[in-house]
Amino acid sequence: MESDLISKKELLELTKISYGQLYRWKRKNLIPEDWFIRKSTFTGQETFFPKEKILDRIDKIKNMKGNISLDELANMLSPNFMEISMSKNQLIQQNIVSKNTIDFYTGEKGEKEGYAFEKILYLNVLDNMFQSGKINFEEGKIILNLLEEDYPKYNGKNCELLFIRKLGISSCCLISNTCEIYFENGIKIIERLSLSDLLEELKIKMV
Protein backbone atom coordinates (compact mmCIF):
# COMPACT_ATOMS: atom_id res chain seq x y z
CA MET A 1 0.00 0.00 0.00
CA GLU A 2 2.77 2.45 0.93
CA SER A 3 4.42 2.00 -2.48
CA ASP A 4 1.15 3.13 -4.09
CA LEU A 5 1.32 6.49 -2.29
CA ILE A 6 3.45 9.56 -2.82
CA SER A 7 4.09 12.22 -0.18
CA LYS A 8 3.17 15.85 -0.79
CA LYS A 9 6.85 16.85 -0.65
CA GLU A 10 7.82 14.22 -3.23
CA LEU A 11 4.88 15.22 -5.42
CA LEU A 12 5.80 18.91 -5.49
CA GLU A 13 9.45 18.11 -6.25
CA LEU A 14 8.61 15.59 -8.98
CA THR A 15 5.96 17.64 -10.77
CA LYS A 16 7.63 21.06 -10.29
CA ILE A 17 4.41 22.64 -9.04
CA SER A 18 4.04 24.86 -5.98
CA TYR A 19 2.14 24.27 -2.75
CA GLY A 20 -0.17 27.13 -3.78
CA GLN A 21 -0.95 25.56 -7.18
CA LEU A 22 -1.74 22.21 -5.61
CA TYR A 23 -4.25 23.66 -3.16
CA ARG A 24 -5.72 26.04 -5.71
CA TRP A 25 -6.45 23.04 -7.92
CA LYS A 26 -7.98 21.33 -4.89
CA ARG A 27 -10.28 24.32 -4.24
CA LYS A 28 -11.30 24.27 -7.92
CA ASN A 29 -12.18 20.56 -7.58
CA LEU A 30 -9.54 19.58 -10.11
CA ILE A 31 -8.10 17.20 -7.51
CA PRO A 32 -10.63 15.24 -5.42
CA GLU A 33 -10.69 15.82 -1.67
CA ASP A 34 -10.40 12.09 -0.94
CA TRP A 35 -7.02 11.97 -2.71
CA PHE A 36 -5.51 14.02 0.14
CA ILE A 37 -4.66 11.24 2.62
CA ARG A 38 -3.43 12.25 6.09
CA LYS A 39 -1.07 9.72 7.70
CA SER A 40 1.06 9.63 10.83
CA THR A 41 4.83 9.47 10.25
CA PHE A 42 7.84 9.73 12.55
CA THR A 43 7.90 13.49 11.86
CA GLY A 44 4.18 13.93 12.60
CA GLN A 45 1.17 14.15 10.29
CA GLU A 46 1.91 14.22 6.55
CA THR A 47 -0.25 14.31 3.42
CA PHE A 48 0.01 11.55 0.84
CA PHE A 49 -1.71 10.90 -2.49
CA PRO A 50 -2.51 7.82 -4.63
CA LYS A 51 0.63 8.01 -6.74
CA GLU A 52 -0.55 6.89 -10.17
CA LYS A 53 -3.79 8.87 -10.05
CA ILE A 54 -2.31 12.16 -8.82
CA LEU A 55 0.60 12.10 -11.30
CA ASP A 56 -1.77 11.37 -14.18
CA ARG A 57 -4.17 14.11 -13.04
CA ILE A 58 -1.45 16.77 -12.68
CA ASP A 59 -0.06 15.85 -16.10
CA LYS A 60 -3.52 16.38 -17.61
CA ILE A 61 -4.01 19.70 -15.81
CA LYS A 62 -0.63 21.04 -16.93
CA ASN A 63 -1.21 19.95 -20.54
CA MET A 64 -4.77 21.28 -20.81
CA LYS A 65 -4.95 24.40 -18.65
CA GLY A 66 -3.46 26.62 -21.36
CA ASN A 67 -6.37 25.85 -23.69
CA ILE A 68 -9.39 26.10 -21.37
CA SER A 69 -10.23 27.80 -18.06
CA LEU A 70 -9.79 26.03 -14.73
CA ASP A 71 -13.57 25.98 -14.26
CA GLU A 72 -14.05 24.28 -17.66
CA LEU A 73 -11.25 21.87 -16.83
CA ALA A 74 -12.82 21.07 -13.44
CA ASN A 75 -16.09 20.23 -15.16
CA MET A 76 -14.27 18.02 -17.64
CA LEU A 77 -12.46 16.12 -14.89
CA SER A 78 -15.50 15.80 -12.62
CA PRO A 79 -17.62 12.62 -12.51
CA ASN A 80 -20.66 14.60 -13.70
CA PHE A 81 -22.25 14.05 -17.11
CA MET A 82 -21.90 16.47 -20.03
CA GLU A 83 -24.96 18.00 -21.65
CA ILE A 84 -24.51 16.43 -25.05
CA SER A 85 -26.22 14.09 -27.49
CA MET A 86 -24.72 12.27 -30.45
CA SER A 87 -26.15 10.16 -33.23
CA LYS A 88 -25.18 6.56 -33.92
CA ASN A 89 -23.19 7.61 -36.99
CA GLN A 90 -21.30 10.31 -35.06
CA LEU A 91 -20.29 7.81 -32.37
CA ILE A 92 -18.97 5.39 -34.98
CA GLN A 93 -17.26 8.01 -37.18
CA GLN A 94 -15.47 9.60 -34.20
CA ASN A 95 -14.30 6.17 -32.97
CA ILE A 96 -16.08 6.59 -29.64
CA VAL A 97 -18.07 3.36 -29.95
CA SER A 98 -17.70 0.57 -32.51
CA LYS A 99 -20.50 -0.42 -34.87
CA ASN A 100 -20.68 -3.89 -33.28
CA THR A 101 -21.41 -2.42 -29.86
CA ILE A 102 -23.99 0.01 -31.27
CA ASP A 103 -25.67 -2.92 -33.07
CA PHE A 104 -25.68 -4.89 -29.81
CA TYR A 105 -27.30 -1.98 -27.96
CA THR A 106 -29.96 -1.31 -30.59
CA GLY A 107 -30.74 -5.03 -30.67
CA GLU A 108 -31.45 -4.86 -26.93
CA LYS A 109 -32.99 -1.42 -26.54
CA GLY A 110 -34.11 -0.42 -30.04
CA GLU A 111 -32.98 2.38 -32.33
CA LYS A 112 -32.32 5.82 -30.82
CA GLU A 113 -32.33 9.18 -32.60
CA GLY A 114 -29.61 10.44 -30.31
CA TYR A 115 -27.52 9.14 -27.41
CA ALA A 116 -27.16 11.26 -24.27
CA PHE A 117 -23.78 11.31 -22.53
CA GLU A 118 -24.93 8.81 -19.90
CA LYS A 119 -25.78 6.25 -22.61
CA ILE A 120 -22.53 6.99 -24.43
CA LEU A 121 -20.62 6.14 -21.25
CA TYR A 122 -22.44 2.80 -20.95
CA LEU A 123 -21.71 2.02 -24.60
CA ASN A 124 -18.06 2.93 -24.08
CA VAL A 125 -17.81 0.57 -21.10
CA LEU A 126 -19.31 -2.29 -23.13
CA ASP A 127 -17.13 -1.47 -26.13
CA ASN A 128 -13.97 -1.69 -24.02
CA MET A 129 -14.99 -5.05 -22.59
CA PHE A 130 -16.21 -6.53 -25.88
CA GLN A 131 -13.04 -5.51 -27.71
CA SER A 132 -10.82 -6.94 -24.96
CA GLY A 133 -12.59 -10.30 -25.45
CA LYS A 134 -13.35 -10.53 -21.72
CA ILE A 135 -17.13 -10.77 -22.07
CA ASN A 136 -19.69 -12.17 -24.47
CA PHE A 137 -22.99 -10.60 -25.51
CA GLU A 138 -24.99 -12.38 -22.80
CA GLU A 139 -22.66 -10.96 -20.17
CA GLY A 140 -22.90 -7.59 -21.92
CA LYS A 141 -26.66 -7.64 -21.25
CA ILE A 142 -26.00 -8.15 -17.52
CA ILE A 143 -23.54 -5.25 -17.41
CA LEU A 144 -25.79 -2.93 -19.42
CA ASN A 145 -28.76 -3.58 -17.12
CA LEU A 146 -26.62 -2.97 -14.04
CA LEU A 147 -25.33 0.34 -15.40
CA GLU A 148 -28.76 1.59 -16.44
CA GLU A 149 -30.44 0.60 -13.18
CA ASP A 150 -27.78 1.38 -10.58
CA TYR A 151 -25.09 3.76 -11.87
CA PRO A 152 -27.40 6.82 -11.59
CA LYS A 153 -27.66 6.11 -7.84
CA TYR A 154 -24.05 7.23 -7.43
CA ASN A 155 -25.18 10.71 -8.47
CA GLY A 156 -21.83 12.04 -9.70
CA LYS A 157 -19.67 10.10 -7.20
CA ASN A 158 -16.71 8.02 -8.28
CA CYS A 159 -17.24 4.28 -8.59
CA GLU A 160 -15.89 1.14 -10.23
CA LEU A 161 -17.44 -1.68 -12.21
CA LEU A 162 -16.34 -5.10 -10.99
CA PHE A 163 -16.94 -8.11 -13.25
CA ILE A 164 -16.29 -11.56 -11.79
CA ARG A 165 -16.64 -15.20 -12.81
CA LYS A 166 -16.65 -18.53 -10.94
CA LEU A 167 -17.08 -21.97 -12.52
CA GLY A 168 -18.31 -20.34 -15.72
CA ILE A 169 -20.95 -18.26 -13.93
CA SER A 170 -20.44 -14.50 -14.23
CA SER A 171 -21.69 -11.57 -12.18
CA CYS A 172 -20.97 -7.88 -11.76
CA CYS A 173 -21.43 -5.06 -9.29
CA LEU A 174 -20.69 -1.38 -8.77
CA ILE A 175 -18.49 -0.35 -5.83
CA SER A 176 -17.16 2.94 -4.50
CA ASN A 177 -13.56 3.72 -5.54
CA THR A 178 -12.38 3.64 -1.93
CA CYS A 179 -14.01 0.27 -1.15
CA GLU A 180 -11.84 -2.73 -0.25
CA ILE A 181 -13.45 -5.98 -1.32
CA TYR A 182 -12.47 -9.61 -0.74
CA PHE A 183 -13.82 -12.77 -2.35
CA GLU A 184 -13.90 -16.46 -1.56
CA ASN A 185 -11.42 -18.77 -3.27
CA GLY A 186 -12.26 -19.65 -6.83
CA ILE A 187 -13.72 -16.30 -7.84
CA LYS A 188 -11.77 -14.67 -10.65
CA ILE A 189 -11.86 -10.93 -11.20
CA ILE A 190 -12.23 -10.59 -14.97
CA GLU A 191 -12.33 -6.80 -15.08
CA ARG A 192 -12.24 -3.88 -12.67
CA LEU A 193 -13.00 -0.61 -14.44
CA SER A 194 -12.96 2.85 -12.91
CA LEU A 195 -16.05 4.48 -14.38
CA SER A 196 -14.80 7.91 -13.31
CA ASP A 197 -11.57 7.37 -15.29
CA LEU A 198 -13.52 6.20 -18.35
CA LEU A 199 -15.90 9.14 -18.01
CA GLU A 200 -12.96 11.56 -17.83
CA GLU A 201 -11.30 10.03 -20.90
CA LEU A 202 -14.61 10.18 -22.77
CA LYS A 203 -15.11 13.86 -21.97
CA ILE A 204 -11.60 14.70 -23.21
CA LYS A 205 -12.17 12.69 -26.39
CA MET A 206 -15.47 14.45 -27.10
CA VAL A 207 -14.30 18.04 -26.55
pLDDT attached to residue 178: 62
| Structural domains of the chain in order of their starting residue, each with its CATH number | 2-77 (1.10.1660), 85-206 (no CATH)
Is the pLDDT at 1 greater than 50? The verdict is: no
Tens-digit pLDDT profile for residues 98-123: 999 999 999 999 888 899 989 999 99
Residue, of 77 and 57, whose pLDDT is higher: 57
Cα distance between residue 97 and residue 105, in whole Å: 11
Tens-digit pLDDT profile for residues 145-193: 999 999 988 876 778 999 999 998 999 999 986 667 888 889 999 999 8
pTM (two decimals) = 0.72
- Which of 68-82, 89-103, 120-134, 135-149 is the least confident region? 68-82
CB 1 within 8 A of CB 49: no
pLDDT attached to residue 63: 84
